[in-house]
Amino acid sequence: MKETIIQTTGLTKRYGEKVAVDHLNLTIRKGEVFGLLGPNGAGKTTTTLMLLGLTEPSDGQAWIEGKDCTRDPISVKRIVGYLPDNVGFYSDMTGRENLYFTGRLNGLPEDVIRERTERLLERVGMTEAADKKTGTYSRGMKQRLGIADVLIKDPEVIIMDEPTLGIDPQGMRDLLRLIRELSEKDGRTILISSHQLYQIQQICDRVGIFVDGRLIACGTIEELGRQMESEGKYTLELAAEPDNDALVQLMSRMEGVDSVEREGELIIVRSREDLRRKTTLTLAANGYTLLQLRQKGGDLDEIYSRYFEKAEKEQQSKAASGTRFPKLGRSFRKE
The domain spanning residue 316 has which CATH number? Answer: 3.30.70.100
Q: Are 215 and 26 in contact (CB under 8 A)?
A: yes
- 92: Cα separation from own chain's centroid: 33
Whether 171 and 272 map to the same domain: the answer is no
Whether 58 and 174 map to the same domain: the answer is yes
Last residue of a domain, one of 166, 193, 219: 219
Q: State which residues form the domain around 282.
A: 230-322
Whether 189 and 304 map to the same domain: the answer is no
Q: Are 4 and 27 in contact (CB under 8 A)?
A: yes
- 47: Cα separation from own chain's centroid: 13
Whether 148 and 289 map to the same domain: the answer is no
Whether 116 and 187 map to the same domain: the answer is yes
Residue (of 5, 22, 8, 21) closest to 61 by Cα position: 8
Let me know if residue 331 belongs to a domain.
no
Whether 14 and 132 map to the same domain: the answer is yes
Let me know if residue 332 belongs to a domain.
no
Mean pLDDT by 10 residues, the chain (335 residues): 91 95 96 91 92 96 97 95 91 97 96 97 95 94 94 96 85 88 95 83 89 89 74 84 94 93 91 90 94 77 70 64 47 41
pTM for the whole structure: 0.76
Q: Within 13 Å, how many C-alpha atoms sit on residue 124's CB side?
A: 27
Let me know if residue 159 belongs to a domain.
yes
Whether 151 and 278 map to the same domain: the answer is no
pLDDT at 311: 65
User: How many domains, in total, are found in the chain?
Assistant: 2
pLDDT at 250: 96
pLDDT at 335: 40
pLDDT at 295: 80
Cα–Cα dist 62/26, whole Å: 9
Let me know if residue 335 belongs to a domain.
no
Whether 241 and 213 map to the same domain: the answer is no
pLDDT at 155: 97
Let me know if residue 147 belongs to a domain.
yes
Cα–Cα dist 26/145, whole Å: 30
Let me know if residue 35 belongs to a domain.
yes
39 cis-preceded (ω within 30 degrees of 0): no
Cα–Cα dist 136/155, whole Å: 28
pLDDT at 125: 92
Whether 264 and 301 map to the same domain: the answer is yes
Whether 168 and 243 map to the same domain: the answer is no
Last residue of a domain, one of 198, 219, 240: 219
pLDDT at 307: 72
In the chain, how many H helices and how many E strands? 11, 14
